[in-house]
Amino acid sequence: MKEFFKMFFATLLAMAVVVVGGAVVLVVGVGALSSMSKPKPVVVEDSVLVFNMSGNIQDSPVSQSEQEVINQVLGQDSPQRYALRDVLSSIRLAAEDEDIKGLYIKGQFQPSGYGSGFAALKEVREAILDFKESGKPTLAHVTYPSSLSLYVASAADRIYMNPEGMLLSSGFASQPMFLAGFFEKYGIGVQVTKAGEYKSAAESFVLKKMSEPAREQTEALIFDLWDEYVAAVAGKAEITSEEFQEILDTRGLLSADDALEIGIVDKLAFAEEIIEELKEITGEESEKSKFKATSLAKYIQSNNTNKSAKNGYVAVVYAEGAIVVGEGEQGQVGGDRIAREIRQLRENNKVKAIVLRVNSPGGSAFASEVIQHELRLAKEDVPVVVSMGTVAASGGYWISTYADKIFAEPNTITGSIGVIGLFMNFQEIANNHGFTFDTVKTAKFADFMSVARPKTEEEMEIIQDEIDHIYEDFLAKVAEGRNLPIEEVAEIAGGRVWSGEDALEVGLVDEIGGLEAAIAHAGELADLGSDPAVRDFPKPKDFFDELIKNLSQNTMIGQSNVLVDTVQSVFEEVESLATTFNDPKGVYAILPYRLDIQ
């Protein structure tokens, strides 16, 4: 049935491509060739480093997409994408660069996938604070800052705000969508099993609101994240967190005047006034409204060289996205693909340590075990350190648990040690549209995994036994990996989600720190020092490899079009359901739902 939906929407998409298509491949080819011939960007002397937040910061290395190349050829801008480690190293390098006279922060984050989460942005904020130690001025300009953007901007010396601006965040809220009513209305059957009181990942499919355990853990989690955010913004305003909370609860949304009065921003100003100050910083004498600037993106490219690895290096492996069986698509953690990457690294004599950067809500229990198995083998040869990003929960914790050391940020989302079984059937919706099914089978349970009918009570009992077995195995692995009594693990498991700060208290992580701290520790364990040579894996994909792959899959390559975008969005929703929930047993270690907090 999944294949039917995939093929149906893929056919619609292909039709849209035919209707809208043109000589796009030629444009892409010319664009790619032109981009290959461009010289390396040059840092402007006596310039300000401009960090445009209008984009996404992802954990893994950035590959150039087809759309970005097309936009480049057509002279159009694409949302900026940064790799976290590039941002951190470049901001710290700029602090010592004589050509860089200051840092200017502007724009608004546009999170995509699992990028630009609070844990990653905490590292960015700390890098900006380190930059300030150089004595170079740091300015920020905001208009309608989200919580993510204001959190980072609050590290600046001075924040300017457009006089017509407003703070868009007056608190954090989690509003998961529940699909039970939709499934009931259209006759889609859903059966779930679980192990763990707090394991509420399947609730959105069978309930119409949160269960009490789910509400309890969500409240605890978002308040931990909120406390970290409030402390940063209140600290900029030089007021207590309690005072800031009271202001928000009294006034609600804060206007630019409110933000200035409270001290969250330092001055209300339009762009031209900020440009004048930046001209003074850079010594620009032109009367035009411009200043000497080097964009962070270009600065990253100009300094994009690897440190010598003659004595070996630390390999950073990125597990970013939902964990799925097989190779996985872009934005997913393919169990086979990541396991193969780790296997190749542990057999490489130049690799002296592995850092696994996890930014994943989990997913397939089977795929998680495939990855964990390879990490355990790697640990026999080299140190293995885990760096938890914005989220490293359920299957994300499964793959982390055997590391020599686990680092997390205070606002990392982790834990969720539990298991669910999710099974859908389309009998009712098919019958309502004239489709019927009949079965001939050689054994009682031959059609056990069929989507043409709901599972019997006896079958659900069999599935529950398997879920319980996998959950017990999960507990045992955590107990062994973390060197904790299994009774203690059982108390903190049950599917309960923890913040990084709370996870440290209960023993699920070892130390508060980001990716750089994890790399430094891995370097020391491998006798490479705290500033080792580093290589990222999987490596950024070559543009032409991606082009050939997409052409072979009949994927659209071209400019945005309403018809194509509409069909594409529907296709992606169906594709997500079909590819994320692809465990052969229907068993998942995955977060209850995604927390999108702006």
Whether 441 is a known active-site residue: answer no
Residue 89: how many CB atoms within 10 A of its CB? 17
**Residue from 394, 400, 416, 499 carrying the catalytic annotation:** 394
Q: Which of 153, 162, 108 has its CA nearest to residue 132? A: 153
Residues 6+ apart with CB under 8 A from 587: 364, 365, 366, 419, 420, 421, 466, 467, 470
Q: How far apart are CA 378 and CA 399, in angstroms?
A: 13
Residue located via tokens 């300017």: 160
Give the CA diameter of the chain.
86
Residues 6+ apart with CB under 8 A from 430: 436, 437, 452
The three-class DSSP label of residue 423 is strand
Asked if residue 173 lies in contact with residue 152, where contact means CB atoms within 8 angstroms, the answer is: no
- Give the H/E segment covering residue 497: strand 497-499
Two structure tokens written together for 328: 């996985």
- Write out the E strands in 307-403: 313-320, 322-324, 332-334, 351-360, 362-364, 384-393
Q: Which neighbouring-strand residues pair with 63?
A: none
To 5 degrees, how large is the angle CA 533–CA 358–CA 482? Answer: 100
Two structure tokens written together for 461: 């009992």
Crossing angle of helices 84-96 and 515-525, rounded to 10°: 90
Q: How far apart are CA 96 and CA 561, in angstroms?
A: 45
Q: How far apart are CA 51 and CA 62, in angstroms?
A: 17
Q: How far apart are CA 267 and CA 234, in angstroms?
A: 16
Residues of the chain by 3-state class (helix, strand, coil), percent to 5: 45, 20, 35
- How many alpha carbons lie under 13 Å from residue 26 in its C-beta half-sphere? 3
Residues 6+ apart with CB under 8 A from 548: none
β-pairing, 80-83 vs 55-58, is: parallel
Q: How far apart are CA 2 and CA 574, in angstroms?
A: 8
**Residue from 101, 136, 194, 199 carrying the catalytic annotation:** 199
Whether 549 is a known active-site residue: answer no
Q: How far is CA 555 from the centre of its chain?
A: 24
Which sequence positions are flagged as catalytic?
199, 394
